Structure 1
Amino acid sequence: MKGGTVQINWHDTKPVLTLDFHPFSGLLATGGADFDIKIWQVDSEEAQNKIPTASYQTSLSYHSSAVNVLRFAPSGELIASGADGGELILWKSHLSDAGQVWKVLKTLSFHRKDVLDLQWSRNGAYLISGSVDNSCIIWDAEKGSVHQILDGHQHYVQGVAWDPLSKFVASLSSDRTCRIYVNKPQKAKGVEKMNYACQHVIVKAEQQSADDTKCLKSHLFHDETLPSFFRRLAWSPDGSFLLAPAGLYKCSPDSESINTAYVFSRKDLSRPALQLPGASKPVVAVQFCPLAFNLRGSNSAGFFKLPYRLIFAVVTLNSLYIYDTESVAPLAILAGLHYAAITDIAWSPDGKYLALSSQDGYCTLVEFQSDELGTPIPFPDGKTTSSHVDETSSQKKPEAMVAKASVKDSTVILESNQTAKDSPVVLRNNQTDNKQASPVASTPVSSKPAKRRITPMAIDP
């Protein structure tokens, strides 16, 4: 594995706020505060043993304000981009003598304020957007019209995610709640119409002292003072679990809050099943590698009991953690990469590249060597992979969630095959002097009833 911050002029040195890879070609699209979307070709420098590079291809210029989010449709033929002022645009790919050209297809108008996040449905027929106007909107992409408005949040909606199995959508807001909506189709004139209703509002968890003399409900998520516009949450590609950033956890009523990301099992989306080891800075985005990998059998302590390994990235304001579902400790930690906050993260369709964007105007590219993450395998054909809780896991002790990972003060980018082991690869860029604390013990989340402690739950297929 190798990577680093690519020192090129991405968006006229202005903040890069979003990025995404094309689902087939692997082209990288970035959006920034210069109002533009730019398309890049990512190239490997493996032969020269250098970090990957990006070469400029074209620009998509139409927005009149900063581009906060862009996402390719699953077909790769469309891009949806959201910007300040409520702008939301659909771009369509056309072939010309000069190559691929992107043109404005539709302008989706209804949000009154900045669009901060969006995601396509798996079939590309719909997309969901979240805005500073406190609402989520589900759009009919073909008609270019509003299909449904979800307006339950009381503050900015900073993250949205669409279940790949099309049953749920989720949103995360600076009102300190995560909302889970379930599809309850309504029949109209004999035709079933997709309709999402709020099923869970996740706000607080009950915390108890060691002697059970104190009990209080503490918030699970950061409030509006979180120094980021984004709380980008994500479903796993098989739909078995949801990962939510911007988490806070208290080990006891009197302890300080710990930054974390929460894992919700599809079996029970009303409360977190697991939490990831605490980071020194708030988590602002999470993203999954789109591939499944073979099991390595190197660690039996993992809590995701899946017949394959999934790999996901967790981004804080200043660091990147890479995890897989077979281990407890992160596979790799990248720290001190940027001068300003990280804003977005994306995996290439082949899992070879991982890209980060930042408000300092630069992007970081990480390249994985062949089979470094494992051998890709197909998801089970014809099988809906949903999780259920292993009842025997309730007997596990909280100490099982301790991740004993250390961060060294290396100032060079390391190449290592340690990703197959529990100990993480640690990369540090000497661009900043921000210090990254090592992951701390992850105490399981407490929930109702008040006198019962909830231990980590295994997530099975």
Structure 2
Amino acid sequence: MKGGTVQIIWHDTKPVLTLDLHPISGLLATGGADFDINIWVINSGQVQKKLPTASYQNSLSYHGSAVNALRFSPSGEQLASGADGGELIIWKLHTTETGQSWKVFKSLLFHRKDVLDLQWSTDGSFLISGSVDNSCIIWDVNKGSVHQILDGHFHYVQGVAWDPLSKYIASLSSDRTCRIYVSKPQTKTKGAEKLNYICQHTIMKAEQQPIDDAKLVKNHLFHDETLPSFFCRLAWSPDGSFLLVPAGSYKISSSETIKTTCVFSRKDLSSFFLEPKAMNIENTNSTAQNPGDMVVEVDDPVTADDKMSECAEKSEGKQASPIIANTPISNKPAKRRITPMAIDP
């Protein structure tokens, strides 16, 4: 299969920071530093037996700063956009006799600083956002309000990902940690369950066995905010079996470190599933280590019962054992928080 440049699309010569494809139709949404969201119609060209093309449809102008993240809802009826300054907008698709148009449905106000990533829940009822204010927020889209705040990170949250099976949420931060949250619904007085997530793992460092008679050293698995690629958007595989985390930093010898993407299996989210040498690393003077020769350090604040339940899900041939740190993790809202609100235009 051959690939090539089909078409170059401009955003007023400004950087394009995000894009997303509509889950049903052939629409493409793009956003960038020109403050606008452009909607394009993608023609595959299969009927005409021509190359695919992208035709400009219209622009959505509302943001007053760079648009960093765009995500269509699973149904395709809504579009979430996050921008600098904490702006978070929900657009809704309206169908009229003359055609379709996108209009502002909700303006979600709570983040104090830039929104860097967004992800919808599988049913489209909730949205999670990650921000430079160090927090992740789960939004109730229908109510237009904050549902839960996950504020365990100590630096920018550069990526968020919602498990397709709705059990986990993952976040990646420039504090060099990846946090895995597990669903633990709360029971209301009327018997109904309330969506709730608690931190199960905080993946921090890898403790590797020596290659060249070096001492046993714990190395950070992820880069900090100095990484040239500022956005670090992690993602689940479509069936939820694997979690792919970018901005990886894997030390293969005492003097050599490679940049990599860390792949974690759903069966054991506290350890590597694929070793970096499987990514065709060439021209290295030493052999990349087997994940079985290293230990991934995690914080694991869940209770003993939760640990037993989690262990039942792990495969017998797991590749690494977690180190349980004693640092407690709290999901309580920070004292600096203000009252959340949504504005209906």
- Specify if TM > 0.5: yes
Q: Does 1:256 align with 2:256?
A: yes
Q: Show the counterpart of 2:199.
A: 198
Question: Partner of 2:225: helix, strand, or coil?
Answer: coil
TM-score (norm 2): 0.80
**After superposition, what is the alpha-carbon deviation per residue over 1:272-308, rounded to whole angstroms, capped at 9, x for unaligned?**
221445xxxxxxxxxxxxxxxxxxxxxxxxxxxxxxx
Count of aligned residue pairs for this structure pair? 297
Counterpart of 1:60 in structure 2: which amino acid? Answer: L
Q: Show the counterpart of 2:280.
A: 403
Note closer, same or farther for the CA distance 1:276–1:448 as it changes in structure 2 (3 Å cut): closer
Cα distance in 1 for residues equivalent to 2:210 and 2:94:
61
Q: Show the counterpart of 2:306.
A: none
**After superposition, what is the alpha-carbon deviation per residue over 1:195-222, rounded to whole angstroms, capped at 9, x for unaligned?**
1111101010012323655110000011
Counterpart of 1:448 in structure 2: which amino acid? Answer: V
Q: Show the counterpart of 2:187.
A: 187
**After superposition, what is the alpha-carbon deviation per residue over 1:218-276, rounded to whole angstroms, capped at 9, x for unaligned?**
00011110012210100111111111000010112x12210110111111111222144
% same residue: 70
Cα distance in 2 for residues equivalent to 1:22 and 1:229:
25
Q: Show the counterpart of 1:447.
A: 294
Note closer, same or farther for the CA distance 1:441–1:32 as it changes in structure 2 (3 Å cut): farther
Q: Show the counterpart of 1:154.
A: 154
Cα distance in 2 for residues equivalent to 1:448 and 1:245:
19
Question: Partner of 2:270: helix, strand, or coil?
Answer: coil
Preserved CA contact (<8 Å) 2:185 2:194: yes
Cα distance in 2 for residues equivalent to 1:193 and 1:72:
24
Cα distance in 1 for residues equivalent to 2:287 and 2:17:
32
Cα distance in 1 for residues equivalent to 2:255 and 2:102:
52
TM-score (norm 1): 0.60
**After superposition, what is the alpha-carbon deviation per residue over 1:143-170, rounded to whole angstroms, capped at 9, x for unaligned?**
1100000001111000000001101000
Counterpart of 1:113 in structure 2: which amino acid? Answer: K
Note closer, same or farther for the CA distance 1:228–1:449 as it changes in structure 2 (3 Å cut): closer
Stretches (4+) displaced over 6 A: 46-50
Question: Shift of residue 116 of structure 1?
Answer: 0.3
Q: Show the counterpart of 1:76.
A: 76
Q: Show the counterpart of 1:413.
A: none
* Structure 2 unpaired stretches of 5+: 298-316, 320-345
Q: Show the counterpart of 1:393.
A: none
Cα distance in 1 for residues equivalent to 2:101 and 2:276:
42
Preserved CA contact (<8 Å) 2:248 2:260: yes
Question: Partner of 2:56: helix, strand, or coil?
Answer: strand
Note closer, same or farther for the CA distance 1:9–1:21 as it changes in structure 2 (3 Å cut): closer
Alignment of 1:334-349 (within 5 A): none
**After superposition, what is the alpha-carbon deviation per residue over 1:337-393, rounded to whole angstroms, capped at 9, x for unaligned?**
xxxxxxxxxxxxxxxxxxxxxxxxxxxxxxxxxxxxxxxxxxxxxxxxxxxxxxxxx
* Structure 1 unpaired stretches of 5+: 278-400, 406-436
Preserved CA contact (<8 Å) 2:204 2:222: yes
Question: Partner of 1:85: helix, strand, or coil?
Answer: helix
Question: Shift of residue 188 of structure 1?
Answer: 2.0
Counterpart of 2:188 in structure 1: which amino acid? Answer: A
